[in-house]
Amino acid sequence: MTKEGLVIVYTGKGKGKTTAALGMALRAIGYNHKVCMIQFIKGSWHYGEMTSSKRLEPEFELTAVGKGFVGIMDDKSPIEDHKKIAQEALKIAQEKISSKKYDIIILDEINYALNLNLIELDDVLKIISDKPDSVNLVLTGNHAKDEIIEKADLVTEMREIKHPFKLGIRAKKGIDF
């Protein structure tokens, strides 16, 4: 890894934000780099990364903290529960980043957590400004705040052009989750 780590943001309404971060992780693992992904929202659901990530150990570590998607589908958890768990994810992120054990830290869906007011923007900006130079930090999720975009070295916006869900096609294993 280079001596100076980047801040990378994958945002936008289109699919592919987490997938892009995982693609970067896969590339980095090919060079024996250590990668940690902390998921802020997807914790209680089963999805492919939970299983496939185990095959990438010990170079890849997945920490799923959230209670699942907030306020949609089958979510019956009070918002206070989601806030408490998002705060826990933020604490874990701070610990992992400051440990200097990882070359890349992915804060998956942190932008959603911010947009849903589960965590504070100032806390995320502090994580960015306090990260060690050696750490590459990746933030995913729609609704990236302007202040985060300003601090980032690379920002990619995924733009939806066409989506099978609008045709009534449900999410598919291995493609969507």
34-85 residue pLDDT tens: 999 999 987 655 667 778 888 899 999 999 886 666 555 555 667 788 899 8
pLDDT in tens, 128-166: 999 999 999 999 999 999 999 999 999 999 999 998 888
Is position 173 within any domain?
no
Q: In whole angstroms, what is the distance from residue 150 CA to residue 163 CA?
A: 29
Is position 153 within any domain?
yes
Q: In whole angstroms, what is the distance from residue 50 CA to residue 69 CA?
A: 16
What CATH number corresponds to the domain at position 157?
A: 3.40.50.300
Is position 2 within any domain?
no
Q: In whole angstroms, what is the distance from residue 48 CA to residue 21 CA?
A: 14
Q: In whole angstroms, what is the distance from residue 38 CA to residue 33 CA?
A: 17
- Residue 122's domain comprises 7-167
- Number of compact structural domains in the chain: 1
pLDDT in tens, 29-39: 999 999 999 99
- Percent above pLDDT 90 for the chain: 68
Give residue 2's pLDDT band: very low, low, confident or very high (50, 70, 90): very low
Is position 109 within any domain?
yes
Q: What is the pTM of this model?
A: 0.89
Is position 130 within any domain?
yes
Q: In whole angstroms, what is the distance from residue 173 CA to residue 159 CA?
A: 22
pLDDT in tens, 88-134: 999 999 999 999 999 999 999 999 999 999 999 999 999 999 999 99
Q: Is the pLDDT of residue 16 over 60?
A: yes
